[in-house]
């Protein structure tokens, strides 16, 4: 074998070896959470207290509320920031001076797919959080009910919603997809909160009858 051929043969052995090492080191690298510096600063600024609500009365808040939210990754949920955000959202929605039955992350300035819903259909009516929720079924049967929103103070409206829904979301611990079927007023709360994640307020719905 000539010198040149030997050199080429060696190179073909070495180069894939180098590439493999590069790929392995990348795979071994632990993925990090995708919280932005702004989101971290905002959540930390409350130091376990009630958060400011984003309101339609403010032009910049209103624009933010009309944006579609981004999904949470497994790493976002494992991050301590997630626990602090949940705790503060719960304090905000259960504020005795301004109580709600549900809250979506964009209402506290966090554009992520996270909601808390008061499960009026469960014993003790607990608030539960749902990560990356979406409907896999919305019944064609509708019910009309009164709705208000923490982001739209002093207003109420009659809104048409599905009587029952099937929901899919990520489990907080395993991140596996879970399914839940919800009926009645709790189904209305879910539809109201999930609308927030797509930038829709109940007042934006064409079938809403607004009462001041």
- Select 72 or 189, whichever has its Cβ closest to Zn ion: 189
Rounded Cα distance between 27 and 29, Å, is 5
Write out the two tokens for 91. Answer: 């304090």
Residue among 39, 147, 172, 193 flagged as catalytic: 193
* Nearest in space to 61 (alpha carbons), one of 116, 95, 106: 106
Is 193 an active-site residue?
A: yes
**Which stretches of 139-196 are assigned E, i.e. beta strand?**
142-149, 152-162, 164-170, 177-183
Q: CB under 5 A: which stretch of 149-157, 161-169, 177-185, 203-211 binds Zn ion? A: 149-157
Least distance from Zn ion to the Cβ atom of residue 188, Å: 11
Least distance from Zn ion to the Cβ atom of residue 113, Å: 15
| Residue 58 DSSP label | S
149 binds Zn ion (CB under 5 A): yes
Burial class (CB in 10 A: 0-12, 13-18, 19+), 48: exposed
Least distance from Zn ion to the Cβ atom of residue 85, Å: 17
Residue with CB nearest Zn ion? 149
Q: How far is residue 82 CA from its own chain's centroid?
A: 11
Least distance from Zn ion to the Cβ atom of residue 17, Å: 57
Residue 156 CB-half CA count within 13 A: 5
Q: CB under 5 A: which stretch of 35-43, 74-82, 148-156, 164-172 binds Zn ion? A: 148-156
Least distance from Zn ion to the Cβ atom of residue 43, Å: 20
| Residue 80 DSSP label | H
- Using an 8 Å Cβ cutoff, are 96 and 132 in contact? no
- Select 76 or 195, whichever has its Cβ closest to Zn ion: 195
Counting residues that bind Zn ion (by CB under 5 A) gives 1
Q: CB under 5 A: which stretch of 19-27, 37-45, 127-135, 145-153 binds Zn ion? A: 145-153
- Select 84 or 203, whichever has its Cβ closest to Zn ion: 203
Task: Write out the binding residues for Zn ion, residues 56-115 only, by CB under 5 A.
Answer: none
Q: CB under 5 A: which stretch of 36-44, 53-61, 87-95, 142-150 binds Zn ion? A: 142-150
In terms of DSSP bridges, do strands 152-162 and 127-138 run parallel, antiparallel, or are they unpaired?
unpaired
**Which stretches of 43-163 are assigned E, i.e. beta strand?**
102-104, 114-118, 127-138, 142-149, 152-162
Active-site amino acid positions? 193
Q: Site residues (CB under 5 A) for Zn ion?
A: 149
């Amino acid at each position: 074998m000539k010198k040149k051929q030997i050199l080429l043969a060696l190179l073909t052995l070495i180069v894939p070896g180098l590439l493999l090492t590069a790929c392995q080191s990348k795979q071994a690298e632990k993925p990090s959470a995708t919280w932005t510096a702004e989101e971290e600063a905002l959540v930390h600024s409350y130091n376990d207290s009630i958060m400011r609500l984003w309101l339609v009365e403010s032009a910049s808040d209103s624009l933010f509320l009309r944006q579609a939210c981004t999904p949470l990754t497994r790493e976002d949920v494992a991050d301590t920031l997630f626990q602090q955000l949940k705790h503060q959202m719960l304090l905000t929605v259960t504020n005795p001076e301004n109580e709600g039955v549900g809250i979506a992350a964009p209402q506290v300035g966090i554009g992520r797919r996270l909601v808390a819903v008061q499960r009026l259909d469960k014993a003790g009516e607990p608030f539960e959080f749902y990560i990356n929720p979406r409907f896999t079924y919305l019944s064609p049967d509708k019910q009309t009910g009164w709705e208000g929103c923490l982001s739209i103070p002093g207003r109420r409206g009659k809104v048409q919603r599905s009587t029952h829904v099937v929901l899919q979301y990520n489990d907080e611990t395993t991140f596996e997809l879970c399914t839940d079927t919800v009926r009645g007023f709790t189904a209305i709360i879910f539809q109201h909160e999930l609308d927030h994640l797509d930038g829709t307020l109940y007042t934006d719905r064409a079938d809403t009858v607004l009462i001041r």
